[in-house]
A and B are shown apart, each in its own frame.
Chain A
Amino acid sequence: MKTFWKAAFAIAKKDILLELRSKEIISSVLLFAVLTLVIFHFAFTADHETMTQIAPGMLWVAFSFSGILSLNRAFIPEKEDNCMEGLLSCPVGREAIYMGKCLGSFIFMLIVEAVVIPVCAMLFNVDVFNPMIIFITLLATIGFVSVGIIFSALSVNTRAREMVLPILFLPIIVPIIICAVSSSSAILAGGTFEDIKQFLLIIVAFDVIFFTVPLMIFKYVVEE
């Protein structure tokens, strides 16, 4: 177990170091996410109540599409110089590689969310800093990244990976996005934990499934 986490953290640390060097993912993803919100800001001129209803949707449009951009590049470092084969030859489980890649992508998504949420609050004047909304976002991000990494590993060797990933990934992730948007809207409209409990349960169930199944099948994806 110690080796598992050591390897997973080493992979995540390596991914962060690579990103700090190139800034390829963060710069493009942040620009895309913020630009999306700015466009929405100019497209909609609604009263505060309407904004409260549509803000979570806009937030998750920004998260989802910028997240896909980020996931598209998750395995690019492993593709260069055939590093995936180097990783596979190490005495660590394939599960540790999957966990490491998930951790790295999760941290990238958190950085994006940490920037996009204040921008959303500023542009639309809605209280998206609500702890419940942040909790929902974190919960949904876990499922988003868990399933995204497996599809990223699948699509990295295809010629049209930029198209393949969203086509495979978006239909699977839709339930999590719907639940995250619906529960966030309910909280912004003054709802309580009881009102969103069913949505949270669905997100947690998806998180568990989307984390466990990819963890089990990752070796078949990367070994062939």
Chain B
Amino acid sequence: MSHVIECQKISKRFGGNQVLKDFDLTVDAGESVAILGPNGTGKSTLIRILASVMRQSEGKVLINGSEMKDEAFALRSQIGLLSHTGYLYTSLSAEENLKFYAEMYSLKDPEKRIAELLEKVGLRTRRFDRVATFSRGMSQRLGLARALLHSPKILLLDEPETGLDQEGLDLLWSIIKTDDPDRTVVFTSHNFKSTVQACSRLIILKKGKIVYDAPKGDLTEDGLQALYHDVTGGKS
């Protein structure tokens, strides 16, 4: 059986700067994979390559056995992406933003899905308000609604906790888990607490290479912190 996500020897260079080198990774259905690592180690680059918003310099990315390069169109509709920004147009209202992205994803019944998601992220009463008037937490929740709009089977999150307090972060993760418990989630983070709560598998990167990859098991927040410092030789 093929993996949901499979990276085969992917490399990425920015000019002379090698960010990822011969990077291999497989993720199976339903896994919640946390990717940790110091800044500049290639976490965001990896997420962007998996989401096909950036092309790798070398190697292959396969989603459900199909190569991203050949079937990017179809595969993108299986992927939801959220980074520390929500990819939202601040002059448009919450509903207008979701309607625009619903058109981009060619959703069949967008009104129903938009109403459902706005309810879920607690923004139904603010649906006609411009995103510019939203707090950071509200924008991020709307960004999550945008990422979940097309009910993707794979959710990629790049440091979604940036700027959120613990309450906002807990809400974000509860929405992700309740929307589709079987969804495959790959996320990068610097937050040990939410990582321990949300992941089933832990990967630590250092200089574009995997230096730790294991199921989370019964690892605690303190245990993860100690492990991280031990593996990376520094602080997050």
Chain A positions within 8 Å of B, measured between CB atoms, are: 3, 6-7, 10, 14, 17-18, 21-22, 77, 80-83, 85-93, 223-224
Contact = CB atoms under 8 A, between A and B. Distances in A.
Nearest to A219: B55
A100 B130 CA distance: 23
Given A7-B103, A10-B103, A89 B79 contact: yes
Interface of B: 48, 51-55, 73-77, 79, 81, 83, 85-92, 96, 100-101, 103-106, 130, 146
Q: Chain B interface secondary structure, helix, strand, loop or mixed?
A: loop
Contacts of A92: 73, 104
Given A18-B91, A21-B92, A81-B89, A86 B106 contact: no
Nearest to A3: B106
Contacts of A88: 52-53
Q: Chain A interface secondary structure, helix, strand, loop or mixed?
A: helix
B235 to A, nearest CB: 27
Given A21-B92, A87-B104, A89-B76, A224 B54 contact: yes
B73 A85 contact: no
Contacts of B75: 91
A86 B150 CA distance: 13
Nearest to B104: A90
Contacts of A14: 89, 92, 100
Contacts of A90: 76, 101, 104-105
Contacts of B81: 85-86, 89
Given A18-B91, A21-B91, A89 B51 contact: yes
Contacts of A80: 89-90
Contacts of A3: 106
22 contacts: A7-B103, A10-B103, A10-B104, A14-B89, A14-B100, A21-B130, A80-B90, A81-B87, A82-B87, A83-B89, A85-B48, A85-B83, A85-B87, A86-B146, A87-B87, A87-B104, A89-B51, A90-B104, A91-B73, A91-B104, A92-B73, A224-B55
Q: Which of A14, A18, A93 has the most CB of B within 10 A?
A: A14
Contacts of B90: 80-81
Contacts of B146: 86
A6 B100 CA distance: 11
